[in-house]
Structures are given as C-alpha cells and as structure tokens.
Structure 1
C-alpha cells in the first residue's frame, strides 16, 4: 500500500484492494452456493439437510473466523507505523490460536451435535444428511481456520490478489469434487448432500497448503521473514489478539447466527418451505459479498491510515467505501426485483419450490439496503480498532429486536414464514442506523485526540 494525497488516488487504491477481495469472497460464497445448488438438484431432502447443516456450521465458522480476522487491523497498524519486524511473530501467534480454536470446535461438536439435531425433530432423512454433512466437513476445520489467519495477513499487506488467486483455484476444485461425490460420477461414491461436506473439507486443505507455499516463497512475505523462525505460544499475544478479535467474531456470529436461528425455528414448517428459505438466504448471502468485501477493504485502508496518523485520509476512505456500497445495493436490489424467477430456478426444478423462493427473494431486497450501510461501517470501525460497541449494537439489533419481532409476526399473524424475514429486516435497519452514529462519534474522538497531540490508539 502507498500513501495517497487525492481522492482519485484513493479511489484507485480502494479498487486495487477491493476488487481481488470481492472476487475472493464471491468465489468463497460460490462454494456454499454450489454445495446448496448441487445438493438441491440431487433431492429436496438433501437440500434441506445441507440447509440445516449449513445453518449450524456457518455461524460457528464465521464467528470464530472473525476472532482470527482480528489479525488484519493488527498487521495493518504495524505496517502503517513501520513495525514490519513484528508481523511474523503476530502471524505465528494467530496460527497457534487457530489451532486451539479448531480443537475446541471439534471436541464440542462431537459432544453436542447429535442432541441438537434430535431436539430439532427433523424428518429422519433430513436429520441423517445434516449429521453426516457436518461430520464430513469437520475434517477441514483445522486448515480452514489456519487459512483464515494466513489470508488476513496477506490482505493486511495489501496483497489481496494473492488471496484472489488462491480462492479462484479453490472454486473449481470444490465444484469438481461436488460433481464426483454428490452424484457419484466416474466410479466415486454417490453421497448426495453429504458429498458436499467431503468436498468442502478437501478444498480447505488445498487452499491452506497453497497459502503456506505463497507466504514461504513469495515477496513481500519473504522479506518479513514469515515462518523463518519458530515462536512458541504467548498468552500475552493471545490476549492482545482476542481483545480485538473476540468483539469482531461475536459481531459476525450474532449477525450470521440470527439467520441460522430463523432457519432452525422454521423447522416447524414443511421441508419445501425450509428448502425455499435456505435457497433465498443462500443467494442473498452471495450478494452480501459486495458490502462485506468493501468492509474488509476499509478495515485494511483505515487501519493503515490511522496507524500512520492520517485521520483525514482514513475518514475519506470511509465515506468513499460506504457510498460505493450504497450505490451497488441499488443494483443488487434490481437484480432481485426483475430476475427473481430466474434466480429461483437455479435452485430447484419444482415449480412450487421456485415460487416460494421467488417470494422470499422480494424480502431480500431490503436486506441489501441495510447491509450496504451497516457492513462497511463495521469495517471502518475495525480500522479504528473500535470493536466492542459494534458487537453490542449487532447483538441488540439482531437478537433483542429482529429475532423476537420475527417470531411474533410468524407465530401470531398470517405472515407465517415471511414474518421472520420482516423481523430480520427491522433488526438490520436499526443496526445500520446505530453503527453510523457510533462511527461519527469515533471519528470526532480521534479528531479531538489528534488536535491535542495525543497518540491515535
């Protein structure tokens, strides 16, 4: 990354960072998309089983990955303040922490998975597919979390094209394995939705290995001496990383978990409704990669500028990124409004399921508008290392307002399943407003400290 002096230079640097992240996120989302899509083509029970399994796994994966993403602002600040020699140590501590988290996830999952699925009172076929899907994907937990640390370091150094390259390799690997393992082509076992879990686990190992190879042999990573020296675990470093990472992780967890909670609550509806809901959520999540990518870019750029003490530049990046997300959200809303039937047809050949998906997608339009404000704003706040209030806001908006509102509407009105979506929309809108208010306060605080000559920490 370089210091910029004009808005044109900032726009170029933002796009230079953003575009590879966007491609990477879309590709990663496409892995889940193809898991869901290809399982749905195999059978409705497989689509529902993968939907339940994904609803349990994604909040855990994204929440815990969010903790490890805390390495991004740490490395960005180190690079901005010219402390490059400390990067290798911080990355190694992140990897140690990822290993500990992975082991805990596997142990807890082994104990609680069956009771959770039994509690949901699913159809026997759906329950079996969900259980075996999660069992298969568990073999990729360790490399997935390890890759999260490596990718956070790669992106924080501004080398987002490397992440893009790795992810673009992962997509055809995953789709190809899905083709072989879901449908049983070329002599491979015909596993149905469970094959999607096996394919994902193998893909996680592939991207972790490729990332290690890049970091060990390519610039600018070689000059930072990454993995050239062994560092033992440091509880002090864990504490510093967790101080930033835990609020980020919990913010992400509560945002993704609320969608999963809705899917689990909707288990009282028929399999067709569950499948349609999950298909609509899956496509909306794919579109969500746009504001999420802008969020990740802003964390890198704002973190770099605040680490260098250039608060005006940090603020300009924030305005530019949030504005871009708002404009693009209008484009995605038009896609959902005018092409909903075609999108729904990607997930199922059953006319009734397609009709249900199309109805859910109409509500997803309003998701895009709120996400376009809330998500990039969180990225800016992370760049300032202001993470705890965002966590509190997300929890209150999604779980105190959004989910209860949805439950009441779904249970006590004729809206039924759609009531949950209206509740989610309400929570997302309130969260966006509160996060913007917090950002204004943080920027004023930083400006006051700068005026007084105090360090920006």
Structure 2
C-alpha cells in the first residue's frame, strides 16, 4: 500500500487490490464446487454426503475465518501509522490464536458431528459418507487456519496478488487429488466422496506450506522477520483480536447460515422447488463474490488510511468502493435479466425446475443492489475497526427482519416459496440503510476527532 493523492491513483491502487482478491474468492468457490460436482460423478450417495458435509463445514469455516480476519485492519492501521515493529508481534499472536481455535473446532467436531448427522435422519450410506468426509477434511483444519492468518497478513500489506497466486496454485492440486482419490486412479484407493475430504485437507497443507515459503523468501514479507522470533502468548493481544474478530465472525456466520435455514424451511414446497431454489442461490452466491471482494479490498485500503490519519482519503476509498460495486451490480443485473434462461439451463434440463429457477433468478437481481451497498460498507467499517455495527446489522437484517417476513409471506400469502426471497431482500435492504447511516456517523466522528487534535 502507498499513499495516493488523486482519485485516479486511488482507482488504480484499489483495482490492484480488488482484482486479485476477486480471483482468490472465485478460486476458493471453485474448490468447493469441484468437491461437490466430482463427487456427484461417483454416485448420488457420494454427492449427497459431500454436499451435507460441506454445508456443515462451510458456515463453521466462514465464521471462524471471520474471527481471524480481525488481523487485516490491525495490520493495515499499523502499516499506515508506520508502526512496523508491531506487525510481526500481531501475526504471531494470531497464529497462536488460529491454532487454538483449530484444536477447539476439532474437539467440538469429534464430540458433536455424529450426533448432528444422526439428528438429520439421513440414509445410512449418506450419513457415513458425510461423517467420513468431515473426518478426512479435519486433517487439514490446523494448517488451514494458520494459512488464513498468513493470508490476512499478506493482504493487509496490499500484496493481494500473492494470495491470488497461492489460491490459483492450490486449485489444480485440489482437482488432481480429487480425481485420484475419488475415482481411485494411478494406484490410489477409490474413496468416493470421502476422497474429496482428503484432497481438500492436502490442499490446505499445500496452501499453508506455500504461504510459509512466500513469507520467508519474498523480501516484501521477509523484512518483517515474522517467524524469527516467537513472542510469548499475550492474552491482551488475543483480547484485541477477539474484540474485533468475534463480531466479524458472527456477522459472516449469520449471513451464511440464513440460507441453510431457508433451504430447510422450504422443504415443504417439494423437491422441484428446493432444486430451483438451490440453483438460484448457488448462482447468486457466485455473483456475491464481487461485492465481497470489494468489501475485503476496502478493509485494507480504509484501514491503511485511517492508520495514517488521512480521514479524507479513507472516505474517498469508501465512496469509490461502494460506487464501483453498485455500477457492477447494474451490469450483472441486466445480464441476469436477459440471460436468466441460459443461467438456469446450466443447472437443470427438467422443464419445471428450469421455469422455477428463472423465477427465482428474477428475485436474485434485487439481491445484487442490496449486497452492492451493504457488503462494501461492511468492509469500510472494518477498516475503521467498527465491527459491532456489522454484527448487529447482519443479525437484524437476516434473522430479525428477513426470516420472519419471509416466513409470513411464504406461509400466509400467495407468494409461497418466493416469500422467503422477498423477506431476505427486505432484510438486506434494511441492513444496507442501517450500515450506510453508520458509516456516515463514523466518518463524522473521525473528522471531528482529527479537527480537535489539530486545534489542540
């Protein structure tokens, strides 16, 4: 990250941050997509088992990774303030915290996964595959969380191209080991969907080792001497990380888990409706990678400027990010409107599911605009270390507003299954308005503090 003086310079620097983050997010999305689709070619039971295991793991991982994401604004602000000596200290503390959280997740999983799967009343073969898939994946949880800390460190320095290269390198590793272990090629055991779990764990180890190599070898990282000194564990540093990270983690968990809840509630509307809903949600999730990437890039840029006490620049980056996300949302919405039939055809050839998917995709258009405002503002607020607002907004918009409205519309009006989507859209819009007001207040607060400091 470097100081910029014109809007053009900011646009160029922001794009250099944004594009690699976007490619990284697409790469991570593609890994999960590969696990599910390649397992589907083994058998329907393998597909169901991996899909269920993935739906259990993804909300847990996204929530936990949100906690570790606290490192990004902390490092960005220290970098902007030229407090370089604090950077290796916080990275090491975050590594300790990540390893501790990983062990905790493993213990909870060992005690609770079987009970959770049993409560879902699955076919015995599907339950066994889901359980063994999660067991296989568990071998990579510790390196995954440590890798995520190193990714936050590299991203906070503005080196998002490096994390993009790591993800792009990991994608073929994941696909190759999926091929070898799912189908039993080249002398490897034929494990079906369970093989996807081991392939994912191997990929996590690959990402961890490659990120260690980058941090050690590349001068832009090695000058911080991250692993040359192992600091004592500091509960004070953990407190700061958790104070920022827990609200981020919960807000992300509320976002990802609401769609699982809606899918379960929609089970009463029949298989065709559920299939169409899942297809539309899957594509909407892909489009969400754009505002999510803008959000992550804004956390880095705003955090850097706030740390340097350049409030005007932080405000400009915030406006730039939201404006860019809205402009892209207009384009994707138009494309989705005119090509929703072609998009639906990617998921199904059954006429009834195809028609329903096209209808759901119309509602997905409205998702684009709310996400284009809410997600970037969340990233900007995290750059200011203002994370409680995003936590509150996520809870209120999804669970206190969106889900109740959706339930009422789905069960007591003619909207039926579409009622849940209308509810979520309403909640998202309310959250976007709330977050917009919060960002304005925070920016006024920082400007007032800056003026008071200058006058003193």
Change in 2 beyond 3 A, CA 1:321/1:56: same
Map 1:175-324 to 2 at 5 A: 175-268=175-268, 270=270, 273-324=273-324
Alpha-carbon shift at residue 16 of structure 1 (Å): 1.1
Find the aligned partners of 1:185 and 1:341 in 2 and give their Cα distance: 37
Q: Which secondary structure does the structure 2 equivalent of 1:4 belong to?
A: coil
Contact 1:33 1:282 in 2 (8 A): no
Q: Which secondary structure does the structure 2 equivalent of 1:224 belong to?
A: coil
Change in 2 beyond 3 A, CA 1:442/1:293: same
Change in 2 beyond 3 A, CA 1:246/1:142: same
Find the aligned partners of 1:42 and 1:269 in 2 and give their Cα distance: 29
Find the aligned partners of 2:142 and 2:407 in 1 and give their Cα distance: 36
Find the aligned partners of 1:133 and 1:358 in 2 and give their Cα distance: 33
Alpha-carbon shift at residue 77 of structure 1 (Å): 0.7
1:285-340 per-position Cα deviation (integer Å, ceiling 9, x unaligned): 22111111111111111011011110000000000010000011122223332333
**Structure 1 partner of 2:166:** 166
**Structure 1 partner of 2:75:** 75
Map 1:51-450 to 2 at 5 A: 51-268=51-268, 270=270, 273-348=273-348, 353-450=353-450
1:399-452 per-position Cα deviation (integer Å, ceiling 9, x unaligned): 111122223333344544433222222211111111111111111111111111
Change in 2 beyond 3 A, CA 1:22/1:436: same
Give TM-score scaled by structure 1 length. 0.93
Q: Which secondary structure does the structure 2 equivalent of 1:220 belong to?
A: helix
Q: Which secondary structure does the structure 2 equivalent of 1:207 belong to?
A: helix
Find the aligned partners of 1:129 and 1:413 in 2 and give their Cα distance: 39
Alpha-carbon shift at residue 222 of structure 1 (Å): 1.1
Find the aligned partners of 1:228 and 1:437 in 2 and give their Cα distance: 44
Change in 2 beyond 3 A, CA 1:188/1:427: farther
Structure 2 spans left out of the alignment, 5+ residues = none
Alpha-carbon shift at residue 281 of structure 1 (Å): 2.3
Change in 2 beyond 3 A, CA 1:277/1:404: same
Contact 1:51 1:278 in 2 (8 A): no
Q: Which secondary structure does the structure 1 equivalent of 2:139 belong to?
A: helix
1:324-362 per-position Cα deviation (integer Å, ceiling 9, x unaligned): 000111222233323334334444565555555444333
CA-based RMSD of the aligned residues comes to 2.2
Contact 1:306 1:314 in 2 (8 A): yes
1:372-401 per-position Cα deviation (integer Å, ceiling 9, x unaligned): 110000010011111112211111111111
**Structure 1 partner of 2:25:** 25
Contact 1:45 1:271 in 2 (8 A): no
Change in 2 beyond 3 A, CA 1:233/1:436: same
Change in 2 beyond 3 A, CA 1:153/1:34: same
Find the aligned partners of 1:72 and 1:104 in 2 and give their Cα distance: 23
Between stretches 419-428 and 270-279, larger displacement belongs to: 270-279
Q: Which secondary structure does the structure 1 equivalent of 2:220 belong to?
A: coil
Change in 2 beyond 3 A, CA 1:354/1:192: farther
Find the aligned partners of 1:351 and 1:343 in 2 and give their Cα distance: 14
Change in 2 beyond 3 A, CA 1:448/1:16: same
Find the aligned partners of 1:221 and 1:138 in 2 and give their Cα distance: 29
1:171-228 per-position Cα deviation (integer Å, ceiling 9, x unaligned): 1111222233334444444444333322222211111110011001111111111111
Find the aligned partners of 1:76 and 1:117 in 2 and give their Cα distance: 41
Give TM-score scaled by structure 2 length. 0.93
Q: Which secondary structure does the structure 1 equivalent of 2:85 belong to?
A: helix
Alpha-carbon shift at residue 70 of structure 1 (Å): 0.2
Find the aligned partners of 2:439 and 2:187 in 1 and give their Cα distance: 56
1:25-69 per-position Cα deviation (integer Å, ceiling 9, x unaligned): 111111122223333455555444433322222111111100001
Change in 2 beyond 3 A, CA 1:7/1:430: same
Structure 1 spans left out of the alignment, 5+ residues = none
